[in-house]
Chain A
């Protein structure tokens, strides 16, 4: 079954709009619904919107949570999130969260991923 263009466009616009919404509650909405979707494209769009927001809470969702953002099982979603992180003009907050994740996170896989992304961001 093929998704109609209108549905795709609506979901894209809602995720993009919530990423720009100044209300911090929008981050929770994106995390609960967007990053937990079974559709890779929705998870990818949500992760990118959270990275673009470039706030501590939004960046923490895609860096420190296992199975989300840079730790997603889908390579496309993970690479797309990393690419968005590398595209940030101000990487200060993202580097700080990556450093804390490498030093303090309980899951080894999450730490390794954070270390790799931090190395990439340092080189970029």
Chain B
């Protein structure tokens, strides 16, 4: 019969090391009672492969969760990086396009100068401006070649009268 005196109970509660020496190597719930006083020296109920598998404790769960969170953050970071990269490429494209436009605009200046010089050359050759040729009015050149002086007199009189009447 077990010793249930107060000192013995206290000793078992606060000085357990001496009692655990007999049950230390076993997880067998029946090992304490033993079989007729013979204590089994080996844990025959425990699988040999079980020791190799990691035990999934609470800490491991938390660690896995943190790892998952950090993985999600990495994915987000990758997405952000790709978006930023896309923006940089767009910006580069726009800048390059603008530079090309500026180049095109500069390249048009010689054309403008060429057109101006051509216009001036035509003006010099023909002795009058293109606007004079395009207009339906009377040109000095045509009057200078008129042979009918009566018509020239009437023309001048008509237009001078129109001017004088407007004043």
Q: How far is the CB of A81 from chain B (nearest CB, A)?
A: 18
Q: Which A residues, 1 to 48, have Cβ-Cβ distances below 8 Å to chain B?
A: 1-4, 6-21, 23, 25-26, 29-30, 32-34, 37-39, 42
Per-residue CB contact flags for chain B residues 69-82 toward chain A (1 = under 8 Å, else 0) read 00000000000000
| Cβ contact within 8 Å between B139 and A17 | yes
CB distance from A74 to the nearest CB of B (A): 14
Does A21 lie within 8 Å of B139, measured CB to CB? no
A17 B137 Cβ-Cβ under 8 A: no
Which chain A positions have C-beta within 8 A of B164? 37-39, 42
- B142 at interface, CB cutoff 8 A: yes
Q: Mark B24-35, 1 if CB is under 8 A from A, else 0.
A: 000000000000
Interface residues in B115-158 by Cβ distance below 8 A to A read 135, 137-147, 149, 152-153, 155-157
Is the Cβ of B159 less than 8 Å from the Cβ of A7?
yes
Smallest beta-carbon distance A49→chain B, Å: 10
A37 adjacent to B160 (CB under 8 Å): yes
Main secondary structure on B side of the interface with A: helix
Q: Which residues of B contact A8 (CB under 8 A)?
A: 163
**Contact present for A16 and B143 (CB under 8 Å):** yes
A15 (CB) vs chain B CBs: closest residue: B156
Q: Provide the bound-state CA to CA distance between A44 and B155, in Å.
A: 19
Q: Which of A2, A12, A17, A21 contacts B166 (CB 8 A)?
A: A2
Name the distance in Å between B131's Cβ and chain A's nearest Cβ: 10
| In the bound complex, CA of A16 to CA of B143 (Å) | 8
**Bound Cα distance from A9 to B166, whole angstroms:** 14
CB of A33, distance to nearest CB on chain B (Å): 5
> Contact at B167–A3, with CB atoms within 8 Å?
yes
Q: Which of B142, B144, B145, B156 contacts A34 (CB 8 A)?
A: B156
Q: Which residues of B contact A9 (CB under 8 A)?
A: 135, 137
What residues of B have a CB within 8 angstroms of the CB of A25 in the complex? 149
* Bound-state Cα–Cα, A21 to B156, Å: 14
Nearest residue (CB) in B for A6 is B137
Q: Does residue B44 face the partner (Cβ distance < 8 Å to A)? A: no
Seen from chain A, the residues whose Cβ lies within 8 Å of a Cβ on chain B are: 1-4, 6-21, 23, 25-26, 29-30, 32-34, 37-39, 42
Rank and list the top 5 A-B pairs by shortest CB-CB distance, nearest first: A17-B143, A20-B144, A16-B140, A17-B140, A17-B144
Known: A17-B138, A17-B143. 18 other contacts (CB 8 A): A1-B167, A3-B166, A3-B167, A7-B159, A7-B162, A10-B159, A11-B159, A12-B140, A13-B138, A14-B143, A16-B140, A16-B144, A18-B156, A29-B149, A29-B156, A30-B156, A34-B160, A37-B164
